Amino acid sequence: MLVEFQATEPRQRIVFSLKPTSLAIMFDEREVYSFDLEGRLLTAWMNDQTYIRTLDNRVVKKWRERHRGAPWKHIEELKPDEKRQFLSQVWSRMQALLHQLAHHELRVTRSDGDQEQVAEQLVHRLDQIVNWNVERLERERERFAAVYTPVTILPPDQYLSLVLQATEGCHWNRCTFCHFYRHQRFHIKSEEEFIRHIEGVKQFFGQGIRLRRSIFLGDANALVIPQERLIRFFDLINEAFIIADERARPEDDGSHVFRGIYSFIDAFTGYKKTEADFRQLRRRHLRRVYLGVETGSDELLKFLNKPATAEQALEVTRAVKRAGLRVGVIILIGAGGDRYFREHIDRTIQLLNAMPLGRGDIIYFSPLFPSPDSEYQQRAAEEGIRALTDAERRAQLDAIRSGLRFPKNEQPKISLYDIREFVY
C-alpha cells in the first residue's frame, strides 16, 4: 500500500510504502529508509550511498565510483562512533516525521486506503520505529550473539534467507584463501541444541522473520552431518516453519511461508552422498545446494589446500541434479594468480561444461580478495606468484564465460559474487 504526503516546512514529498514484509519511507526521492515489521532499521539510501544495518547492529556503507571503468563497488563498515551518529540521525529523522504525522502537519496527496485508518497505522509503525533508539539497537548485538555464532557468508541469492545453524564453522577449515571460520571450532549441534536454536531464532526475529524468503542451513557445509541426523534436523525445520516451493505465497491466514531450504555442500564429503540421500532431503524441501568448486584444476585445488578434485565436484553435481535439486557452483576468479591463469581457465571451462547444469542452476564467479596476512598470500609470495590485476581478473572471467556451452533453453544463470558485499 502506498501513501503519499506533502510537507510544507521544509517542502517535500514523503512516500510510505507498506509491504507485508517491511516498511519503506522515501523523502523526495533523495532519501529512502526501510524497516522490518518490528521497526528495526534495515537499510538507508542517501547521497548515492547505501547503508545496511546487520542483524548484530553493524552498519555497512556501499557506493560506486561515478567514473567509468571502476570494476567493483566500495564497501566499508562504519566505525563505532560513525555508526552511532548515523543511527542517531536516522532516529531523529523518524522522530520528526512522527511528530509531523501525529500533529497533522502533512497533507495526504495519495492514499491506497482509508486516509484516517492509514494515518493511524503509520503513526503506530513510526512509534515502533522510534522505540528502537541507538541504545536499544546496540543491545541487538548481544541478542544476536546469544542465538548465532557469526554468520560469515551466504550465496548472494540467499542474503535474505533465515539462517539456521545446524553446524557451526567448517569441518575442514584449512583452505588457504578462506578466513570465514578460522576462529570457529567446528561443531554439529545436538537435537536439543538445534531445537533451542530454532526457538531462539524465532524470538530474535519476531515479526521481522517475514522478510526472510527461504531457510539456509548453515554453516559452511551443514550437509556433512550424518544422513540420519540431517533428516531429523530437516524434520525439525519443517515442524517449526511452513515451507513450500519457490513460488510460495503467504497462507490465507497470513502465516509466513518460506520458499524452500538451501545449504552449502563441499565436494570432498558431498560425493559420498547418494542420489537417494539427496532425494530424502528434497522431499523435506531442500531446493538448491551451493558447491564451492573454485576451479576445475586439481593442481590449483592443491595449491589452495582444498582437499577436493574436479571429479568429485562433478560427481556431487550429477547426484544432486539426478535427485531433482538445483545447484549453485562457485568459481574463484584470480585464484593462483599469474601462475595458474591459463590452467584455471581451461580446466574450469572443461569442468563446467561437463556438469549437467541447466535452468534453475547458478554459476557464481567470485573474485578472490585474500587478506594480506592469509596463508594464501604467504604461499603465493613464497612461490613468486603475482596476484592478478583487476583487468586480468576480468579477462579471466570473460575467458571462462566465453568457453561455456549449454543447450540454448537450458542456460544456468551466471552471476558475479563479491563476498565483500555480504551482510546478515
Site for ligand SF4, rule CB under 6 A: 170, 172-175, 178, 180-181, 220, 266, 292, 306
Shortest distance, position 381 Cβ to ligand SF4, whole Å: 20
CB of 220: closest distance to ligand SF4 in angstroms? 4
We find the least distance from the C-beta atom of residue 166 to ligand SF4, in angstroms, to be 15
Distance CA 341, CA 348 (A): 11
> For cell 596476512, what's the residue?
373
Q: Given the DSSP bridges, would you call strands 215-218 and 261-265 parallel, antiparallel or unpaired?
A: parallel
Question: Judged by CB, which is closer to ligand SF4: 35, or 268?
Answer: 268
Least separation in angstroms between CB 146 and ligand SF4 = 24
Nearer to ligand SF4, 33 or 268 (CB): 268
Cβ at position 188, least distance to ligand SF4 in Å = 15
Asked if residues 216 and 167 have their Cβ atoms less than 8 Å apart, the reply is no
- Cis amide linkage into residue 112, ω under 30° from 0: no
Q: How far is the CB of 306 from ligand SF4 (least distance, A)?
A: 6
Among residues 132 and 172, whose Cβ is nearest to ligand SF4? 172
**Of 36 and 266, which CB lies nearer to ligand SF4 in the complex structure?**
266
Q: Residue 157's CB: how many other CB atoms inside 10 A?
A: 18
Q: How far is the CB of 396 from ligand SF4 (least distance, A)?
A: 19
Q: How far is CA 147 from CA 237, 319, 407, in A?
A: 16, 34, 45
Give whichever of 94 and 170 is closer to ligand SF4, judged by the CB atom: 170
Residue 43 or 152 with smaller CB distance to ligand SF4: 152
Q: Which is nearer to ligand SF4, 186 or 204 (CB)?
A: 186
Closer CB to ligand SF4, 22 or 173, in the complex? 173
Minimum distance from residue 269 beta carbon to ligand SF4 (Å): 9
Q: Please, what is the minimum distance in Å from the beta carbon of residue 151 to ligand SF4?
A: 13
Q: In the complex, what is the shortest distance from the CB of residue 228 to ligand SF4, in angstroms, rounded to a whole number?
A: 23
Calpha distance 196→210 (Å, rounded): 20
Whichever of 209 and 225 has its CB closer to ligand SF4, that residue is 225
**Of 208 and 292, which has the nearer Cβ to ligand SF4?**
292
